[in-house]
Amino acid sequence: MSQVQSIPKKKKRLRLLHFYPDLLNLYGDYGNILAIQRRAEWRGIEVEIDNLDLNSPLDLNIKDYDIAFIGGGQDRQQVKVADDFLARKEKIAEAVNDGLVILAICGGYQLLGKYYESSEGEQIPGLGILDVETQAQGRKSKEKQKRLIGNLSAKLKKPLKIQDYLQEKLDFILYRDSIYACDTLVGFENHSGETYIHASEEIGALAEVIQGNGNNLVDKQEGVLYKNIFGTYLHGSLLPKNPHLVDELIFRALDRRGEQLSAEEWLSLDDSFELQAHKKALSLR
């Protein structure tokens, strides 16, 4: 009688594209790449990281990637990448419509919108994928021009998809004691532009400010959520301080592929230290 051989389980793999790492990398934003890589690998998911720079081919098929990261930069760096970014608009828009998961911080967030206005009044055109616009601080709020800087905490406007998934799958006590019960985000902001969202059923703020400034000095909203795009002003680095958001990006990337981890696999990490750090960051002033 022949022996049936078991077929080895195919290892999950994600591809991550890092936009302009040499130019858009303020305040330790590379830590976000490391957080995605580590939390995926700790669950047996291999992560392949490619960099996109000014010399990368314009026909690069961006929708072949699972996650994209666009960091922040100073005005001169944003000006430097703006033309190249615009030249990739069609490929980026195609990827967004295909469900690509994108985390865009500060300058990256602004460049996905309609335009970014510098302190000198120059308008740097964005991709217009996000229905947002960024003006030099003070033009709309009528405040004296200043930088919006400091610790920022905010409450999510609605649950993350991974939170809904795990609430359905887990015993309440297991869920309550996990990092996924967090409905807050923490980080550090430092920007001179004020971003305004033209909210609709498709696009809205990611979170509501508890402490700090967020998008602007008018509406106390932070970040944006559109399709699988997460835009935010949170540096710090953002993801190491918010592991539930790291896992949301991974969750959405796997979901787009028609794959998913079990509830037990999501809970396989001991996040007690991360949870304590997150709660401590909420108390910072």
Residues with a catalytic annotation lie at 106, 235
Are the C-beta atoms of residues 116 and 244 closer than 8 Å to each other? no
Are the C-beta atoms of residues 228 and 252 closer than 8 Å to each other? yes
79 three-class SS: helix
Are the C-beta atoms of residues 89 and 216 closer than 8 Å to each other? no
DSSP 6: P
**Rounded distance, CA 140 to CA 134, Å?**
10
Are the C-beta atoms of residues 240 and 35 closer than 8 Å to each other? yes
What is 213-273 written as a DSSP string?
-TT-SSS-EE-EEETTEEEE--BSSHHHH-HHHHHHHHHHHHHHTT----HHHHTTS--HH
**Rounded distance, CA 182 to CA 198, Å?**
27
Are the C-beta atoms of residues 186 and 152 closer than 8 Å to each other? yes
Contacts of 47 (CB under 8 A, 6+ apart): 13, 14, 15, 16, 36, 37, 40, 41
Cis peptide before 237 (omega within 30 of 0): yes
**Rounded distance, CA 215 to CA 110, Å?**
10
Per DSSP bridges, beta strands 101-105 and 67-70 are parallel
